[in-house]
Amino acid sequence: MSIAKSASEIIAKAKEKLKKEVSDIENRTDLTDQQKVDQIVKVFSTFCAAIAVQPIPFADIFVLTPIQGYMGKKIADIRGFPLSEAKATEIFKELAGLVGLGFLAQQLAIGAYKTVLPFLGALTTIPLVFGLTFGMGRVMDYYFVKKSKGEKIDKEALQKIFKQARQEGKQKAKENKEEINKKKNEL
């Protein structure tokens, strides 16, 4: 099976499972908007970490980025900033550049863990990807809150939010290791 076909199958399967977990969360009245965003960020970080340890070397950018873009769409919906999933993915990439997230470096590290250093893969990939996705979720939330209010985006604030959230995400990855492994096995 080709890498592209494997990646497409994982994306489709992950999106279906994600839709079930976060379907219409933006319309729920039993949660505050912040609780909704927190849930979205945690669920997507968990799925991305589970996906990243799948045996598809160097294909992660093709799998993770669309899913992270979908996370952005859900956050935008919650914050009252409707946009398409494709536009959310574009914004995700733009914000990743602003906070200094090197996609190439991330993908090379994940690919190396899967091919050259497979025994370190789960130990290092899960907190890396969970933390990066968690950080980007927080950055996207800040971005959409500011945009929905017509306020200016502060690059330094984005970087600070990302750095703090990435560290928090790495810790949360350890706390959610069982859930991540469960999702990994489902995929």
Residues 113/124, Cβ–Cβ less than 8 Å:
yes
Residue 182 in any domain: the answer is: yes
Average pLDDT over residues 163-186: 88
- The reply to whether 10 falls in a domain is yes
Domain contains 27: no
CB 64 within 8 A of CB 52: yes
pLDDT tens, residue by residue, 6-31: 777 777 787 787 777 787 888 889 99
Helix, strand, or coil here: 83? Answer: coil
Examine residue 150 and state whether it is found in any structural domain, yes or no: yes
135 in any annotated domain: yes
The pLDDT value given to residue 140: 95
Domain range enclosing 179: 3-22+32-186
Asked whether residue 54 carries a pLDDT value surpassing 90, the answer given is no
Half-sphere exposure of 6 (CA within 13 A, CB side): 13
Q: Decide if 162 is inside a domain.
A: yes
Tokens coding 89: 């993915």
Q: How many domains does the chain have?
A: 1
83-133 pLDDT per residue, tens = 988 898 889 888 888 887 655 455 555 555 555 555 555 556 788 888 989
> Could you tell me if residue 178 is inside a domain?
yes
Q: Are 75 and 37 in contact (CB under 8 A)?
A: yes
* DSSP H or E run through 142: helix 121-148
